[in-house]
Structure 1
Amino acid sequence: MKAVRRTDDGVAVVEVDDPPGSGELVRIRSASICGGDLRHVGPGRPIIGHELAGVREDGTAVVVEAVYGCMTCARCLQGRYNLCPTWLRRSLGVAIDGGMAEQFRAPAERLVALPAGLAVRDASLAEPAAVSWHGLRLGGTGPGSRVAVVGAGALGLLAVAGARRMGARHVALEARHPHQREAGDLLGASLGTGGRYDVVVEAAGSDASLARAIELVAPGGSVVVLGAQFSEIRIDLQTLFIREARLVPSLGYCAHRDGSDLADAAAMLAADPTIAAALITHRFPIEDAAEAFRVAGDRSLGAIRVVLEP
């Protein structure tokens, strides 16, 4: 069985005897390449991949909920499994084997059935969409909100789509590359920012983008940080203080009173096929994984989300 692993010589397609993971067998039909897949190398060089969709043995199409904890602690029982102390030790493709393979095993309770209208070949996009959805929800996005997104990679563009789905009256986008601006326009974003915003999503993961997000937030608003940073950073606390604005780090996704972020994100993609069409820019068979990773890592080639199809 073919799987994608990072080796000393780079990304390679390898043969493995058994499906990675544990739990119910899923035949993977789409596995997209996250920015973290391009950067992170876990101990033991695990199989890559956490943005996964496939088909159960009974034929049901599902997306894999890659963020989960022990499912027994107080936070997990409240649905906040993204805050479980064990979460990092269960990080697919980083701490343990992910599912960029022809088959993968996942706990049955972590498989979310696809809604009608969402094709399984597009459904790996639901996982990063849930990340953006979670952040928008934490930030208080809703009908009538003014939302700005700084950074137009997949998470930023999915935040544009999510904000519109949540009823924001205006969604602005700051994008660096022409293909990102084109995708933002297709998703209904206003290209460029002006004024102050109730919710500002930082989706680029840099000091400069966080500073810009703080600059754009309105009094009483929220700066939601999606872009992962793992070193000390400087922030403009004075601006946040004077405007009484919140800085909201957003980690993964979880359940909530009315369902889950992943199910909400999948429903959004099912309702608007334009989102997947705009964001999935390249598709490769699993045998061409090395080339797929090369394309995904080269912004000049116009990649937003690159999908492997085992």
Structure 2
Amino acid sequence: MMYKNKQFYLCERPEGVVSSKAVPQREHIIEAIQDGELIIENQYISIDPAIRGWMRDEPSYMPPIELGSVIRSSTVGKVVASCHPDYQVGDRVYGLSGWETYSVSNGFFLNKIPDDSPYPENYYLSIMGAVGLTAYFAITDRSGLKSGETLLMSAAAGAVGSIGGQIAKQMGCRVVGIAGSDEKCGWLKTIGFDDTINYKTTEDMTAAIARACPEGVDVYFDNVGGEILDAALLNLNSHARVLFCGSIASYNATEPVPGPYNWWQILARSAEVRGFLISDYLAQFPEAALTIGQWLDEGKLEFREEIVDGFDNCLSAFNRLFDGSNNGKMLVKV
């Protein structure tokens, strides 16, 4: 059986906001697969800021997307053809694939959704997938966060930030979130954040952080970089930790980004900078997913998803990540 596959692919390295010239669409026919391969009909596509970094020809924790290749992304879908011994037609799966309606996989970085799972399939790209697991491992392990400490979370209304803040509250921490609208700040307080800062209406971020964190910042969870990172550095406590999870403020930059200007505070406060990659925790995924599922069932976690309908909207949904207009985890329903 033949499958007509629609794809977004990388035609050229983008400068600034990603355009349809750099990432156009194409169609091709999947006619056959080899032994050890399977075909997935994608149902949801994950839209993530990290994809912007993969479009650059720069060294990173994953190789750059090659010119002419489909845009790399996580997806969830259904197996429609299989020559792989571990996957049968009808299996529901999630893993690393791309912005396309069908994916050919060899099973690498692919997982089955349990047949008895009570959760919707899209949850496996958000709370039960990389988003929830990133927040879980970053907060409970890599940050070194302890009860009574103060966590300052950037991009706090986003998928990782909102979940991470709630986990920190369960650990007995003071949690302050930085977000881009009064509505987002208000929502964060309803899910347990102690205080919030609207960076779009704040003229002096250093002073605003000092007011919201009167005892200083023990862990700054950095999703954005830029000016907010500089302001956070001036509010660190002695032996604080800066958890580097992302740098969305610079992803669309067209020139080298200077700074951080206050980097000397790492020395002045005897602080640490800790990079975080979820791939370091692969062996612990199943146990963590069970814990997250239990918290969901007990009503201890709330999260937001924004699901955009229609495959053709992948690129426009992606660009909304960088103007702050999205609400929670961004997904496209194919």
Same fold (TM over 0.5): yes
Of the two, which has the highest radius of gyration?
2
Which SS does the other structure have where 1:201 is aligned? Answer: strand
Tell me what 1:189 maps to: 193
Whether 1:289 and 2:290 are equivalent positions in the alignment is: no
Deviations 1:88-124 (A, max 9, x none): xxxxxxxxxx422223244536233446343212321
Tell me what 2:29 maps to: 17
CA–CA separation in structure 2 for the residues paired with 1:198 and 1:305: 26
Work out the percentage of aligned pairs sharing the same amino acid: 13
> 1:11: Cα distance to partner?
4.2
Whether 1:279 and 2:304 are equivalent positions in the alignment is: yes
Tell me, yes or no, if the aligned pair for 1:173 and 1:191 is still in contact at 8 Å. yes
Which SS does the other structure have where 1:104 is aligned? Answer: strand
Whether 1:135 and 2:134 are equivalent positions in the alignment is: no
Which SS does the other structure have where 2:220 is aligned? Answer: strand
1:286–1:224 distance in 2 versus 1, CA, 3 Å:
same
Asked which structure has the greater RCO (Cα within 8 Å, sep 6+), the reply is 1
1:162–1:283 distance in 2 versus 1, CA, 3 Å:
farther
CA–CA separation in structure 2 for the residues paired with 1:186 and 1:159: 15
> 1:272: Cα distance to partner?
2.4
Match of 1:236 among 259, 262, 274: 262
Tell me what 2:164 maps to: 159
Tell me, yes or no, if the aligned pair for 1:11 and 1:289 is still in contact at 8 Å. no
CA–CA separation in structure 1 for the residues paired with 2:177 and 2:38: 40
Tell me, yes or no, if the aligned pair for 1:296 and 1:305 is still in contact at 8 Å. no
CA–CA separation in structure 1 for the residues paired with 2:76 and 2:39: 12
Structure 2, unmatched stretches of 5+, are 12-19, 56-64, 80-87, 197-211, 251-255
* Paired residues for 1:243-254 under 5 Å: 243-254=269-280
Structure 1, unmatched stretches of 5+, are 67-97
1:158–1:63 distance in 2 versus 1, CA, 3 Å:
farther
Tell me what 1:73 maps to: none
1:175–1:275 distance in 2 versus 1, CA, 3 Å:
farther
CA–CA separation in structure 2 for the residues paired with 1:286 and 1:183: 29
CA–CA separation in structure 2 for the residues paired with 1:11 and 1:264: 35
Tell me what 1:51 maps to: 74
Match of 1:63 among 94, 99, 115: 94
CA–CA separation in structure 1 for the residues paired with 2:287 and 2:78: 16
Deviations 1:260-301 (A, max 9, x none): 3586257526742889974312321213334434544543x4
Whether 1:223 and 2:235 are equivalent positions in the alignment is: no
Tell me, yes or no, if the aligned pair for 2:45 and 2:76 is still in contact at 8 Å. yes
Between 1:276-285 and 1:169-178, the stretch displaced more is 276-285
Tell me what 1:108 maps to: 107
Tell me, yes or no, if the aligned pair for 1:269 and 1:275 is still in contact at 8 Å. no
> 1:212: Cα distance to partner?
2.6
1:201–1:286 distance in 2 versus 1, CA, 3 Å:
same
Deviations 1:178-222 (A, max 9, x none): 34324423432223331223322011132x222233233332231
CA–CA separation in structure 1 for the residues paired with 2:111 and 2:161: 23
> Would you tell me which structure has more helix in proportion to its own residues?
1
> 1:4: Cα distance to partner?
2.5
Which SS does the other structure have where 1:121 is aligned? Answer: helix
> 1:173: Cα distance to partner?
0.8
1:163–1:276 distance in 2 versus 1, CA, 3 Å:
closer
CA–CA separation in structure 2 for the residues paired with 1:154 and 1:235: 28
Match of 1:214 among 211, 219, 233: 233
Tell me, yes or no, if the aligned pair for 1:296 and 1:303 is still in contact at 8 Å. no
Match of 2:176 among 167, 172, 176: 172
Query: What letter corresponds to residue 272 of structure 1 in structure 2?
Result: L
1:6–1:44 distance in 2 versus 1, CA, 3 Å:
closer
CA–CA separation in structure 1 for the residues paired with 2:148 and 2:92: 35
CA–CA separation in structure 1 for the residues paired with 2:179 and 2:286: 25
Tell me what 1:5 maps to: 9
> 1:139: Cα distance to partner?
1.5
Tell me what 1:84 maps to: none
TM-score by length of 1: 0.70
